[in-house]
Structure 1
Amino acid sequence: MLGDVNIGELSRLTGLPVKTIRYYSDVGLVPEAERSHANYRRYDHSSLVRLEFVRTLRELGLDIATIRRVLDNGVDLASVAAAHAEAISVQIRVLRLRRAALRAVARRDPSPSEVERMTRIAQASADERRRIVDEFFDSIFADLPTASSEEAAKFAEMMRSASPDLPDDPTDEQVDAWIELASLLREPSFRARLREMGRRSFGPSASPRSVPTDMSDISWFTDHVAAAMDRGVTPEDPAAAAVVAEVTARWTAACDRADDAPYRAELIEGLELAIDPRAERYWQLMAVINDWPPIPTTTHRWTWFLSALKAHS
């Protein structure tokens, strides 16, 4: 048990500066046990325990007034700790968002206006993020006849339901993905391409479907093309003609179409519009933000097939 000590000895025992201990004493956090005949402060074991507690609370970031209320039993320490932990969580999130914005700046070397925009995107609230996404969907679906087309309405509903949902405590990767996605959603050329794809798929003059929507057909396609690419077959090789024929035969059967010259011309036109690395990147970023399984890159498979289709049609 510690006997009475002076402020210098207490400083040596705790490692705290004399000035700090004196301040804590003056504001009532660590009152001295008594005063010596020469009016020097004297502290006992309870003073040491209290001082260590005060130091711990200060290291946790609690202010003097809150610590005083805790010590005077004016407020429950558990409640204070919970509230302070939540406040720190908010601070950590803000710092993480700022760090992500700085990383984006370092990668892209943007203009001052772009720096400001990326910072706003990174620090956007949940409501602001929702508005960015809703405005994007409103833009690309503006010309779709969703009111009269059940298929178009279901497509728009599916897209909106699969929107990005950044968690309250996102990882660095999720924040980076959100910044990139928000920038992508604002690209006028990307929006224009999606609007045109929607018009051709659901507009008044929409053509019959040329590519099946069943994921098993799409998975078979990418595996089939991947096998040819892995064998070193180039789009111009005669062997690529067989791959094209197998794909179009399966697709026309699924879409109830004939594998003829008009179909292939239509397929080429549709693929030229649909093959865009940004569309694939959109879903990859969505997967990161929403913590979905990773989405592999397949754009190069579609590009190979389009080149082969042009070469052998």
Structure 2
Amino acid sequence: MQYSIGELAHRTGLTVKAVRFYSDRGLVPPSGRNAAGQRRYDDAALARLDVIRVLRDLGIDLATIRRVIEGETTVAEVAAEHVAAVEAQIGVLHRRRAVLNAVANRSQPEEASLAHQRLLLSEVERQCLIGDFLADALGDRPELAGIARTLTPELPGDPSPEQVQAWTELAALMRDTDFRANLRRLVDAHEGGLRRDLAAEVRDAVTPALVAGIGPKSPAARAIVDGLGRDPGELREWLDAVSDPRRERYLELLGVINGWAAPESMAPAFGWLAEVMAA
């Protein structure tokens, strides 16, 4: 059976302009022309237009539609490919809703603008920021892959307002070049012989002293520091880096974003140890 453009439009629910557009792009070629030179289409063209209409309604691009029509792929394969894209879009919408809720609860317009700029990052942009931060802070060291994982924020697809606000602050810390350099100093200290568990050793040695009320200028305090068995110069350098409040704040924010328990604050132990070292 032969159809005019108008008849195809009527049967498919498309406009004449749309049918002509697809025909001009070669997606629905005419099967011939009548005596007046007008294009005529067959049942195959009608079937193609039905496929095009459905795929366009699903948001499929013309290049992919052409691949389907030309037999390079199937509708089922295209649908499977686009499921992930749709899920990603849903995740974006969830995050956008969380951002808008957070912005709506802010009183200052400049704060809302700042939150908007930092939080409406695409997934790719966010991962680039995280990857750049970890690479700069830890360096390209395969042996530190485990540490990198423990420092990686994973914002859920439907974050809470608290997680949104935590990501705002965490993103600012990641962009802080001085903070990155400070973490790099800790990595260098680790490679220089100060073991990764030094913080745990300090906690185990100093916490009892704090509970017992041992003063940092007392001989007992000096004995505790000597018991760590570290070079005083290296210990001072490590302590200066590890006691940076931004490091502890990063871990706190990371816990909120990843749903982890709040980390134990080492600030009192580090402060006590710094006083001992100064004395």
Q: What is the CA–CA distance in structure 2 between the aligned matches of 1:99 and 1:134, rounded to whole Å?
A: 28
Aligned to 2:244: 276
Aligned to 1:126: 123
Deviation at 1:91, TM superposition (A): 5.7
Aligned to 1:289: 257
Structure 1 residues 290 and 243, CA, compared in 2 at 3 Å: closer, same or farther?
Answer: same
Aligned to 1:76: none
> Which residue of the other structure, out of 256, 262, 266, is the alignment partner of 1:298?
266
Amino acid at match of 2:222: A
Per-residue CA deviations over 1:194-228 (Å, capped at 9, x if unaligned) read 233334544xxxx3x13x334xx644531431221
Kept in 2: contact 1:276–1:299 (CA 8 A): no
Count of residue pairs brought into register by the alignment: 191
Aligned to 2:157: 168
> Which residue of the other structure, out of 202, 210, 218, is the alignment partner of 1:237?
218
Aligned to 1:95: 97
What 5-or-longer segments of structure 1 have no aligned partner?
A: 1-86, 147-151, 253-258
Kept in 1: contact 2:137–2:183 (CA 8 A): yes
Amino acid at match of 1:270: W
Structure 1 residues 274 and 126, CA, compared in 2 at 3 Å: closer, same or farther?
Answer: same
Aligned to 2:196: 213
Q: What is the CA–CA distance in structure 2 between the aligned matches of 1:220 and 1:270, rounded to whole Å?
A: 13
Q: What is the CA–CA distance in structure 2 between the aligned matches of 1:279 and 1:218, rounded to whole Å?
A: 13
Per-residue CA deviations over 1:260-298 (Å, capped at 9, x if unaligned) read xxx112211222123211112212211221112221211
Q: What is the CA–CA distance in structure 1 between the aligned matches of 2:92 and 2:134, rounded to whole Å?
A: 29
Matches within 5 A, 1:17-166: 93-101=95-103, 106=107, 112=110, 115-141=112-138, 144=139, 146=140, 152-155=141-144, 157-162=145-150, 163-166=152-155
Kept in 1: contact 2:94–2:159 (CA 8 A): no
Aligned to 2:170: 181
Amino acid at match of 1:308: V
Kept in 2: contact 1:98–1:122 (CA 8 A): no
Per-residue CA deviations over 1:30-58 (Å, capped at 9, x if unaligned) read xxxxxxxxxxxxxxxxxxxxxxxxxxxxx
Q: What is the CA–CA distance in structure 1 between the aligned matches of 2:190 and 2:94, rounded to whole Å?
A: 45
Amino acid at match of 2:169: E
Amino acid at match of 1:187: D
Aligned to 2:24: none
Deviation at 1:182, TM superposition (A): 0.5
Kept in 2: contact 1:197–1:274 (CA 8 A): yes
Q: What is the CA–CA distance in structure 2 between the aligned matches of 1:90 and 1:137, rounded to whole Å?
A: 24
Kept in 2: contact 1:98–1:123 (CA 8 A): no
What 5-or-longer segments of structure 2 have no aligned partner?
A: 1-88
Task: Please give the secondary structure, in 1, of the residue aligned with 2:254.
Answer: helix
Per-residue CA deviations over 1:174-203 (Å, capped at 9, x if unaligned) read 11211111111111221222233334544x
Kept in 2: contact 1:165–1:290 (CA 8 A): yes
Aligned to 1:37: none
Q: What is the CA–CA distance in structure 2 between the aligned matches of 1:279 and 1:96, rounded to whole Å?
A: 26
Aligned to 1:35: none
Structure 1 residues 231 and 199, CA, compared in 2 at 3 Å: closer, same or farther?
Answer: closer
Structure 1 residues 201 and 296, CA, compared in 2 at 3 Å: closer, same or farther?
Answer: closer
TM-score (norm 1): 0.52
- What percent identity do the matched residue pairs reach? 31
Structure 1 residues 116 and 272, CA, compared in 2 at 3 Å: closer, same or farther?
Answer: same
Aligned to 1:18: none
Amino acid at match of 1:178: W
Per-residue CA deviations over 1:3-31 (Å, capped at 9, x if unaligned) read xxxxxxxxxxxxxxxxxxxxxxxxxxxxx
